[in-house]
Homo-oligomer: A and B are copies of this chain.
Amino acid sequence: MSSIGRIPEASVARLPLYLRGLDAFPVGVTATVSSEELATLAGVNAAKVRKDLSYLGTYGTRGVGYDADFLRFEISRALGVANTWPIVVCGMGNLGRALANHSGFSERGFPVVAAIDTDPDKVGVEIDGIPVYAPSALASVVTEHEIAVGIIATPPEAAQGAADRLVDAGVVSIMSFAPIVLTVPNGVDLRAVDLATELQILGFHLHRDRLANGAHATAGREQNLSVGQGPV
C-alpha cells in the first residue's frame, strides 16, 4: 500500500489550503491543474506546491499537471478527511456560540454536536440547535458521540480546568481560544489560537513602520500570509 513517509509539519499545514483551492474545480469532472495554478489558488508558490505534493506520492504528470479531482481525493485521503470528527465546545459565550453556529466546520467534517457550560441558564437547553450540558455530563457526552476533538472557549481562568476535564473524558485534540498557557499530558494535541497576540504582532509592524516613516522614511513594509502553527 502507499505507505507515505513522514510528511513535514509545514507541508501538512498547507494541505488544507490546497484542498480549499481545489474547490474551484467541480467534483467528478476531469480537469487539469498545474502547480502554478494551484499555487495561486492556495496563496503559496509553485515550488512549495510541488514539493508538498511529492511527499504524498507521484500524482502529477510531467508536461501536463495534476488531475484536479484525483488530487483532491489523494489530499483528502492523506488528511483523513473521509472521517468525521465530532466536536464538543466548552463555553457557550460570545465566541463559543459563534463557533457552534458556524457551518464551515461541519462542511469540513467537524460538526459541533454538543456544548458544555456552567451557566445554569444555558444548561439543558439547545442553543442554535446544539444541546448544552453541564460539565458533569462531559464524559458521557464524549463517549456517546465518540468525540475526539474539543474546543475551549471559556474564560481564561476556567480554561485549564476545562482542558483537564476534556482530557479525562478521552478527548485527544484540543483547540483553545483562551489567552493562557495550557498544560496537557503527552499524547494530547493542543492548538492555542490567541487573537490578541495576533493583533499585537500586527501592532508591532505598525509601530515599526511608524518609527521608520516618522524618522527616516525607510522602505520595507511586508505582506504576510496565512497564520500557521507552532512547534512540536
A residues with a Cβ closer than 8 A to B are 12-13, 15-17, 19-21, 40-43, 78-81, 83, 85, 87, 94-95, 97-99, 101-102, 104-105, 107-110, 148-149, 172-173, 175, 179-181, 184-210, 221-232
Cβ–Cβ contact A42 & B198, under 8 A: no
Known: A94-B97, A201-B16. A226 touches B79 (CB 8 A): no
- Inside 8 A of A228's CB, which chain B residues have their CB? 227-230
- Which residue of B78, B81, B149, B227 contacts A191 across the interface (Cβ within 8 Å)? B227
- Inside 8 A of A196's CB, which chain B residues have their CB? 16, 104-105, 107-108, 110
Shortest CB-to-CB span from A18 to chain B, Å, is 11
- Which residue of B108, B148, B194, B208 contacts A80 across the interface (Cβ within 8 Å)? B208
Excluding A85-B202, A149-B206, A172-B221, 10 further A-B contacts by CB distance (< 8 Å) are: A16-B197, A17-B197, A80-B206, A104-B196, A108-B196, A149-B199, A172-B206, A173-B206, A186-B221, A189-B221
Shortest CB-to-CB span from A212 to chain B, Å, is 11
Cβ–Cβ contact B225 & A80, under 8 A: no
Shortest CB-to-CB span from A85 to chain B, Å, is 6
Protomer copies:
2
A196–B149 CA distance with the chains assembled, in angstroms:
13
Cβ–Cβ contact B202 & A229, under 8 A: no
Known: A12-B204, A97-B94, A201-B13. A223 touches B187 (CB 8 A): yes
A110–B41 CA distance with the chains assembled, in angstroms:
31
A178–B42 CA distance with the chains assembled, in angstroms:
13
- Inside 8 A of A172's CB, which chain B residues have their CB? 206, 209, 221
A95–B40 CA distance with the chains assembled, in angstroms:
27
- Which residue of B21, B190, B206, B230 contacts A85 across the interface (Cβ within 8 Å)? B206
- Inside 8 A of A105's CB, which chain B residues have their CB? 195-196, 199
Cβ–Cβ contact A81 & B200, under 8 A: yes
Cβ–Cβ contact B230 & A227, under 8 A: yes
A190–B85 CA distance with the chains assembled, in angstroms:
30
- Inside 8 A of A195's CB, which chain B residues have their CB? 99, 102, 104-105, 175, 193
**Closest Cβ neighbor of A192 among chain B residues:** B226
Cβ–Cβ contact B223 & A230, under 8 A: no
Known: A197-B16, A207-B80. A227 touches B227 (CB 8 A): yes
